[in-house]
Structure 1
Amino acid sequence: MAQVSMTVNGKPVTGEVEGRTLLVDFLRNGLGLTGTHVGCDTSQCGACVVHVDGRAVKSCTMLALEAEGAEVKTIEGMANPDGSLSVIQQAFQDHHGLQCGFCTPGMVMSAAALLAENPKPTEAEIRHYLDGNLCRCTGYHNIVKAILAASGQDVSIAAE
């Protein structure tokens, strides 16, 4: 067992982990932050995306010990300080960018990373950026619309 310390959603945390413990497992099982989902265990689906030092990372591909000293943000840290939904979360709600909701935390985290890099992405850029996030319910159209809306763009430019 080894000790790992990091800042998660603005709060310092420390825990004991085995060397093989994945970041997603530490977040879910060690810290009780179950918004980060495990969908495939093979880095294919993107349900486990979190931000590590400002970068979108599939947390099923990273050992918890690799996040030593890092700033980690999960879906639980995306809300506004008053608890209201962030612009991205609200856009997903307003534009029906979810159905079953399983992929939504990873989609929101990926969308936030995209908008941090590119505040006004085109539809094609959004679709390309989300290439590593799988949704088995929506067909992505409303997810793209939600991201366009969160970026302040006209959602009617999204192809039907």
Structure 2
Amino acid sequence: MEDQQPRPPAHRFGGELTRREVVAAAGAVPLAAMLPTAAAAQSHLAGRTGHNEATVTVRTVINGTPRHLELDPRASLLDVLREQLALTGAKKGCDHGQCGACTVHIDGRRVVSCLTPAVQTDGAEVTTIEGIAPDDQLHPMQQAFIDHDALQCGYCTPGQIMAAIACVQEGHATSREQIREYMSGNICRCGAYVGIVAAIEDAAPKMRRA
């Protein structure tokens, strides 16, 4: 008489585990292991900032106005400007620091705000396109962009103008070749580069006299 070995119970309708069920079961373990880690990291961050919402207090000056902000330490300067302060001149073009549409100035130095943590502006002065022309008078660079038709769709124009102002202030607008080199981080998908270079050439001496 043959030995009767116990057989494993048949799964569902007598079939084997499906590939989907195996993958789902394998994925459940690492996901469960990650959850406590994420919670611990959030708790640690809240402890460091002293707030349950994990915010950081930032005191900065934006376009001449002192600001006292409670910020998520992960927030980019671009998102804070656009979503929290309604300063929408800086555009979100690529969100990878490659197009220059979000260019602003921090303490007079141009930066791509999409890659700049907002908390880094603590104690600094931020200037956006909204802050370069007080008293409703156009900045010489803005007027030059109009005069030389240095824009088409206009989406990249605020970033182009902020970079162009910095280009002049840095002393990098002494020739067309130099302007092209130091404006190469700002992309105009409409191809208005000839007008942009001409506008910077026109505005540079006016800015130096101002």
Q: Normalising by structure 2, what TM-score?
A: 0.70
Look up the match of 1:64.
118
| Matching residue within 62, 69, 72 for 1:8 | 62
Larger radius of gyration: 2
Does the Cα contact within 8 Å between 2:104 and 2:129 map onto a contact in 1?
yes
| Matching residue within 4, 7, 20 for 2:74 | 20
Aligned length: 152
Look up the match of 1:151.
204
Does the Cα contact within 8 Å between 2:82 and 2:88 map onto a contact in 1?
yes
RMSD of aligned alpha carbons: 1.3
| C-alpha deviation, 1:17, in angstroms | 1.4
Does the Cα contact within 8 Å between 1:97 and 1:138 map onto a contact in 2?
no
Does the Cα contact within 8 Å between 1:46 and 1:107 map onto a contact in 2?
yes
**What SS does structure 2 have at the residue aligned with 1:56?**
strand
Q: Which runs of 5+ in 2 are unaligned?
A: 1-54
Does the Cα contact within 8 Å between 2:92 and 2:114 map onto a contact in 1?
yes
Q: Which runs of 5+ in 1 are unaligned?
A: 154-160
**What SS does structure 1 have at the residue aligned with 2:116?**
coil
Q: Percent identity?
A: 49
Match of 1:83, as an amino acid?
A: D
Runs in 1 of length 4+ with deviation above 2 angstroms?
none
| C-alpha deviation, 1:138, in angstroms | 2.6
| C-alpha deviation, 1:152, in angstroms | 3.4
**1:103 aligns to 2:162 (yes or no):** no
| C-alpha deviation, 1:78, in angstroms | 1.1
Whole-angstrom distance in 1 between the partners of 2:174 and 2:160: 15
Match of 1:143, as an amino acid?
A: I
Does the Cα contact within 8 Å between 1:49 and 1:110 map onto a contact in 2?
yes
Match of 1:3, as an amino acid?
A: T
Look up the match of 1:133.
186
Whole-angstrom distance in 1 between the partners of 2:199 and 2:119: 34
Look up the match of 2:90.
36
Higher relative contact order (CA 8 A, sep 6+): 1
| C-alpha deviation, 1:117, in angstroms | 1.4
Match of 1:74, as an amino acid?
A: T
Look up the match of 1:46.
100
Look up the match of 2:195.
142
Greater helix content: 2
Q: Normalising by structure 1, what TM-score?
A: 0.91
| Matching residue within 44, 68, 86 for 2:139 | 86
**What SS does structure 2 have at the residue aligned with 1:100?**
coil
